[in-house]
Structures are given as structure tokens and as C-alpha cells.
Structure 1
Amino acid sequence: MIDRAGILALVPHQGAMCLWDEVLDWDADSIRLRAHNHRDPAHPLRGDDGRLRAVHLCEYGAQAMAVHGGLRARAAGGVAKPGLLVALRAVELLVARIDDLPGALECEARVLIDSDAGWQYAFRVSHAGMLLAEGRAAVLPQSAT
């Protein structure tokens, strides 16, 4: 298991914007993560009404990709290339909000495409065994300037 400090060392998302607390399992093709921060009243994605909408699960999915990319790069002796989220596809949100869920969020993300031109993953976010959201996300490499 990799804790939050280990995740922070892998991704550009820092402080409260780093949404994952721990990596439960990973291999070259997939990753499983857990987070508890959706109940935090100071969550950076909460709306003015204090609610955290299910659409924000797409950011959890995208950050799962970033963590996985960081782990894969580190295993290969390097660091992950910076990327830019460019597309979400086939997203299904099965709840309206997530700030009222009592337990941890879990995400499974799986590599669909890995090339020099970009990456595509499928992600599924659940709570207590219930699927909350799923979809695909695409990231293009960003040149370091």
C-alpha cells in the first residue's frame, strides 16, 4: 500500500487538490485507490452550497490516471510526463452528490491506450460496493515549457 505522502511525491496535484489518500494495489495495467476526503467541508471542489457533486468523480478518475502514470514511470526509473486532460467519454453518474456518503470512495482505473501520443483509461468509482460513476478519460502529453 502507498500512503498519501507517497502519492504526493508522484503527482502535480498538491495539498487538498490531491484527492487520493492511498493506493491499495497496482500493476502495469491498473490501479486501485481509496479516499476519505469527500466528507471534508473544506474540500476544494465543493460548490457554494457546500455540496460535492458526482461530476467531480471525473476528477477523481483523472487523478487515478496521474497516480498510476507516476508509479509506472518510477518503476521504469523515471518521472511521469506532464499531461493535460482533453476528453471524457461514456461517463455515467449514478448519484447526484457524494459529500453525504459515510464511507471511503474507491477507484479502479485501467489503461486502455498507452502511447507517445497520449493515454486513455477507463475508471470506475464506488462507495461500499455501489458503483457511483464510470467512464473513460484521455490525456495528451504536455510539453515542458
Structure 2
Amino acid sequence: MLSREQIEAMIPHKGGMCLWDEVVEWDARRIALRADNHRGAAHPLRSQDRLRAVHLCEYGAQAMAVHGGLRARARGGDASPGLLVALRGVQLHVSYIDALPGALECEAEVLAEGEGSQQYAFRIRHAGDLLAEGRAAVMLQAVGAA
């Protein structure tokens, strides 16, 4: 539904730090995305030649950013820049993700939002198995604010 290039145009993360390859579907409350970059030797979050499951929190946060960009675009505007301020209830069901064959899949949904903040739940799966889940809160800046 939406390509990596289109995703990069909406979020501040570029190149290898843009973690999602495609948006599968979305509506005003939720988004589903897919990525197949977790095995890459050049993945920017790798350390000691491994990609730890804790980095799935960044995948979840970027899912929020993509969803915010899509929602803003649907309203005819730009998304407000956000700052991740909290992760809660994070559960990691694996230790590493770099050897998993096939794509990672994410669902993220809006739980609460106000003028200056948003809270989402995210779940990341591989081949139907839940890898990580949690909630993330973002503080939003007004578009054009310093």
C-alpha cells in the first residue's frame, strides 16, 4: 500500500534508520507494516554482529511515526514532530531477531491522544509468533516550532 520511499518521505528517519519497508494497511486507529531488514549485516542497530530484540521498541516507535504521518496527510497537513518519552509494559519474547527468516510484521494502534501527546500499543510478530509488545508515549511539538 505504501513503499519504503513513501515512508521515508513522512518520517525523520532516513536510509538504514528507516526500519519499515512497507505499510500493509492502515486506518485512523491502527496501522500494519512489514520489514525484512533485520538480517542485514549493515543494520544500523546491530552490535557485536547481532540485532537484539530490545530494538523492536524502535520499530514500534517508527510505526507510530508512520501512522502519524499518514493521518496528518489525510487531513491535508504535516505530522507534528514527536519525542519518544516513555515505553511501558514492554515484553520481549525472544532475545535476538537477526537470524529470523522472512519479514517482521507490526500492528500499532492509538490508545490515547491529546493536543500534545499520543500513546500507542504495538505488537511485532514473525511468522505469526509474537516477538515484542508494549506501549509507547510521544510528546508532540507544533509543526514549525523550534
**Partner SS, residue 5 of structure 1:** helix
TM-score, with length taken from structure 1: 0.98
**Partner SS, residue 39 of structure 1:** coil
Q: Give distance in 2, aligned partners of 1:54 and 1:106.
A: 14
Q: Which residues in structure 2 correspond to 1:41-120 (within 5 Å)?
A: 41-47=41-47, 49-120=48-119
* CA positional deviation for 1:135: 0.1
Q: Give distance in 1, aligned partners of 2:51 and 2:112.
A: 30
Aligned to 1:3: 3
* Runs of 5+ unmatched residues, structure 2: none
State the superposition RMSD in angstroms.
0.7
The answer on whether the counterparts of 2:60 and 2:123 sit within 8 Å (CA) in structure 1 is yes
* CA positional deviation for 1:118: 0.1
The size of the alignment, in residue pairs, is 144
1:36 has 2:26 as partner: no
**Partner SS, residue 50 of structure 1:** coil
Q: Which runs of 4+ in 1 moved over 3 A?
A: none
* CA positional deviation for 1:108: 0.1
Aligned-pair identity (%): 69
The answer on whether the counterparts of 2:80 and 2:140 sit within 8 Å (CA) in structure 1 is yes
Aligned to 2:139: 140
Q: Give distance in 1, aligned partners of 2:54 and 2:60.
A: 10
The answer on whether the counterparts of 2:123 and 2:132 sit within 8 Å (CA) in structure 1 is yes
* CA positional deviation for 1:142: 2.9
Q: Give distance in 2, aligned partners of 1:40 and 1:115.
A: 37
Amino acid at match of 2:122: F
The answer on whether the counterparts of 2:116 and 2:141 sit within 8 Å (CA) in structure 1 is no
Amino acid at match of 2:18: C
* CA positional deviation for 1:127: 0.2
Q: Give distance in 1, aligned partners of 2:116 and 2:79.
A: 14
